[in-house]
Structure 1
């Protein structure tokens, strides 16, 4: 009798790793799945594999680990009352996090659950008689490799397991690297090319393989004083980047911020992304995470405001200023800021015409005016003007974002720090908080050119070739005046350029480690312990594996 495994999973399938005790997978025979076609069964096994991505990329999970731990983002204890959370965001920024940090634990659990769901699909899909099963198996196996790749980057290990009833083998260093690479190579021939950025495709695997080889020196020797970038790895980076570029399938966006619009699922710059479309119940909170509590992105929802969350550090801001001085970076580089509120103070706009400014937000903020819980109207339109800290019970204090932000009382106030609104919040929302809609880029074409440039520099110091790749990306943003062409290129300049192109995109920590910058000093951070390049394994996971002595060993220094 053929059996179908329905993937409504509450998982601990990696065995012991999520500190749970049972596996609630429902195995149903054909007679108990009335009306379920083979196609529906195949879809029902693959969908949960991808469903963990939005949870991983939630603002307090992967974004927190990849951005707030760096020189790019900082989240102080706002006003002495908000974002305290027992100091976990301060510790993340200062590299003093512990194994009990709930956000580290959640990120670990979602990654391991993703691996477990993929394993379930890999073992079940061969029993389903549907033509899509072969492709779906490749996607599930490839997603297992991707989740393991993120685990390797964050925690320094992977879990290798094919038998759903067996115990995962823990791999580190070269063995872990080889495992992830081999898995990607095994699935690439069976993947499609035309299913959009929300599913694993050949282009996505090429991009992930390029990234894997680019970071291979780090993964082999995590605590090295200087990383050894092997020429053969750099050759592979170029090879896979060339495959993507030469495929002709992807295109650099003319409008930089269109890459992060709520309709970006069809943007040809995206190669692999977290699918956040509203019809899939997307939950992109990065659109309001950084905003003031008195900034409201959607006229339809007067209760949905910003959280006064993270700001960019003065250190990161100064890289923009120093690069373009005496010009203001907003005038010199269209990636820094996009003006959408082209109106004088105290103007009125329709709901459809109201769009917040994008990019790095500085100084006095303008937006929808709210009084007694409702937006002020001008007939059918909405009043827009200077904002004040009304929601913070400071109605005479304007919302003026300042460069200074730190962990002092003065530096932790509600308006300290320049904020970031990179992702557009969807007007399809039914609450002002759900249905974020803008997909999160995992791999996009600009990164492919940048990775190729870096490989050229690291292998043979091909500054001319690297400069051409970087300038091609800069020159592509023709919807407005593109940034001026660079005249020279080296690794420090490339690191700076990656910051300009990919800020707030959850690449910064990985970049900083690879470029040897992660032990540096910046606002409120001076820890130079190389062992902090990876995070602690959650104590709950170690406790859950306690009946297997020596199985799950804590990372050094935690």
Structure 2
């Protein structure tokens, strides 16, 4: 196969806006495809359509934009220098990002590459005589709609383009949402129901359509003081959620954290996800991003540790505290799962490799784990691994305990390596040679719990049907039967539902979209006071504006940037 370097500024089509990349891609030419079967050719054209998903969902791209910009996550300069990155994470949290932010640019580039690859597949697959081509065309077209939906949510625009050589039409607002909806509806009949969460199935499409209709009011009038959720949109949310729930194809997981385990591809709650099985797809660092540099989750890899990245804000933590006033938030099994029994039994300080698993959820206080001395883990006389109190040894502070505190901010004291409660939601991969990347847990895009909570919200917004909404919320709560489920709620309103979505979906890249829809994004929280409504969407990268400069008025920067 030939290799080519893709450079964006080679024409006036969609790739005009991607900037030059260093991505060496394998492309099929006439010579290379001559030995392929039709099935191989079809498979080879649909695979690139999904291949950018793991990169879009990296910790520094979509995750950063959707979480660090909100009241859930904050990332200061650790120790005064680490994660400085010229202040981009501080700006993201404070809603002062600029059009030169590299993470915003990279997210833009990756989404456009996803759109471009979808267009290539849509135009190539009809020439391949394989039975799968019809389904693949529907998937490619549906994925083009999905990438545009994310683009609309983040940047306020969508690209309408069918001919690879043509110039895209740029759509904004309701026109963009209508285009995305029409594309999804057009492919629905040809999608399958049996392809699993890593591909666009009928169920995945229904979930995305429900999400689109739930946010239609935002997309229709982005800077409105109050969003008007039309009854017909809310009816559509309920319709698609009903289809998913009544299909019987998906089930709420009886245990919360296995939804995010390395083997979660077969978890019945997943409807649509980034397929990360067999470490084929990429650069998943969601598990390592928040952990301490002195937390080593895998005995087999002495170099696999955390990076002291983002923590949850005290504001988000206090939402748990206030919800369970008088009780520790651990009464909710979504908050925390203890795997290291040394917390409760100091005698259990020697652990077999096969039995070692770090704690999950929101991590507070003194941390325990594998003890590393001179580049090796300490072992007990019986050959098991020694587990004990952790110190900031990798930070050259061997007497400073890894003791996560609630306080975290952008001050010197609030930016130290142990400030902020950390999040370990996705399981740290036990297969990757570094343990940090190439994670093999599928990254959730849509799961059944979200379907129940979207339906609850639609019923509240349309007719204030608090009883039906409460029933949906409590169905999700009661489903986690492996542990004691969280106590049932006794009332429901939009504020309680917003809080519940935070408890259920924290760290899942839904928070920014939720905050905007619920009117919370201009609020005040730790280190954030900006109330500018124009920050509900991000700036179009300056490189994209510059790249389109030969077409005056074609690509206009978003207001406020």
- TM-score band (shorter)? over 0.9
| Residue in structure 2 matched with residue 117 of structure 1 by the alignment | 117
Residue pair 1:345, 1:384 contacting (<8 A) in 2 also: no
- What's the C-alpha RMSD, in Å, of the aligned pairs? 1.6
Residue pair 1:282, 1:437 contacting (<8 A) in 2 also: no
| Residue in structure 1 matched with residue 421 of structure 2 by the alignment | 418
| SS of residue matched to 1:425 | coil
| SS of residue matched to 1:420 | strand
| Residue in structure 1 matched with residue 465 of structure 2 by the alignment | 462
How far off is 1:46 after superposition?
0.6
How far off is 1:451 after superposition?
0.2
Residue pair 2:74, 2:93 contacting (<8 A) in 1 also: yes
| Residue in structure 1 matched with residue 264 of structure 2 by the alignment | 264
C-alpha distance after superposition, 1:394-420 (max 9, x if no partner): 101100000000000000000000000
How far off is 1:279 after superposition?
4.4
| Residue in structure 2 matched with residue 441 of structure 1 by the alignment | 444
| Residue in structure 2 matched with residue 400 of structure 1 by the alignment | 403
C-alpha distance after superposition, 1:177-212 (max 9, x if no partner): 100000000111100111110000000000000000
TM-score by length of 1: 0.97
| SS of residue matched to 1:195 | coil
| Residue in structure 1 matched with residue 366 of structure 2 by the alignment | 364
Residue pair 1:275, 1:282 contacting (<8 A) in 2 also: no
Paired residue total? 552
How far off is 1:289 after superposition?
0.4
| SS of residue matched to 1:474 | helix
Residue pair 1:7, 1:48 contacting (<8 A) in 2 also: no
| SS of residue matched to 1:177 | helix
| SS of residue matched to 2:254 | coil
CA distance in 2, matches of 1:277, 1:9: 28
CA distance in 2, matches of 1:273, 1:21: 26
Residues 54 and 8 of structure 1, relative CA distance in 2, 3 Å threshold: farther
| Residue in structure 1 matched with residue 496 of structure 2 by the alignment | 493
| SS of residue matched to 2:226 | coil
Residues 41 and 317 of structure 1, relative CA distance in 2, 3 Å threshold: same
Aligned pairs (5 A) from 1:372-411: 372-378=374-380, 379-411=382-414
Residue pair 2:7, 2:21 contacting (<8 A) in 1 also: no
| SS of residue matched to 1:15 | helix
C-alpha distance after superposition, 1:500-547 (max 9, x if no partner): 000000000000000000000000000000000000000011111111
C-alpha distance after superposition, 1:28-49 (max 9, x if no partner): 22x5434211111111111011
| SS of residue matched to 1:159 | strand
Residue pair 2:6, 2:20 contacting (<8 A) in 1 also: no
How far off is 1:433 after superposition?
2.2
CA distance in 2, matches of 1:27, 1:272: 29
| Residue in structure 2 matched with residue 36 of structure 1 by the alignment | 36
CA distance in 2, matches of 1:388, 1:474: 36
CA distance in 1, matches of 2:25, 2:417: 44
Residue pair 2:135, 2:190 contacting (<8 A) in 1 also: yes
| Residue in structure 2 matched with residue 241 of structure 1 by the alignment | 241
Residue pair 2:51, 2:281 contacting (<8 A) in 1 also: no
Residue pair 2:19, 2:109 contacting (<8 A) in 1 also: no
C-alpha distance after superposition, 1:364-405 (max 9, x if no partner): 000000001110012431100000000000101100000000
CA distance in 2, matches of 1:200, 1:374: 44
CA distance in 1, matches of 2:207, 2:7: 29
CA distance in 2, matches of 1:369, 1:55: 32
| Residue in structure 2 matched with residue 339 of structure 1 by the alignment | 338
| Residue in structure 2 matched with residue 503 of structure 1 by the alignment | 506
How far off is 1:345 after superposition?
3.8
How far off is 1:27 after superposition?
5.6
1:533 to 532, 536, 556: 536
2:474 to 471, 474, 482: 471
How far off is 1:429 after superposition?
1.6
CA distance in 2, matches of 1:126, 1:7: 24
TM-score by length of 2: 0.96
| Residue in structure 2 matched with residue 127 of structure 1 by the alignment | 127
CA distance in 1, matches of 2:6, 2:197: 27
CA distance in 2, matches of 1:53, 1:483: 33
| SS of residue matched to 1:287 | coil
Structure 1 residue runs without a partner (length 5+): none
Residue pair 1:288, 1:297 contacting (<8 A) in 2 also: no
Further displaced range: 370-379 or 454-463: 370-379
Residue pair 2:368, 2:389 contacting (<8 A) in 1 also: yes
CA distance in 2, matches of 1:59, 1:109: 16
C-alpha distance after superposition, 1:117-173 (max 9, x if no partner): 000000000001111000000000000000000000000000000011100000001
Residue pair 2:429, 2:436 contacting (<8 A) in 1 also: no
| Residue in structure 1 matched with residue 353 of structure 2 by the alignment | 351
Does residue 273 of structure 1 match 2:269?
Answer: no
Structure 2 residue runs without a partner (length 5+): none
Residue pair 1:7, 1:45 contacting (<8 A) in 2 also: no
| SS of residue matched to 1:120 | helix
Residue pair 2:264, 2:441 contacting (<8 A) in 1 also: yes
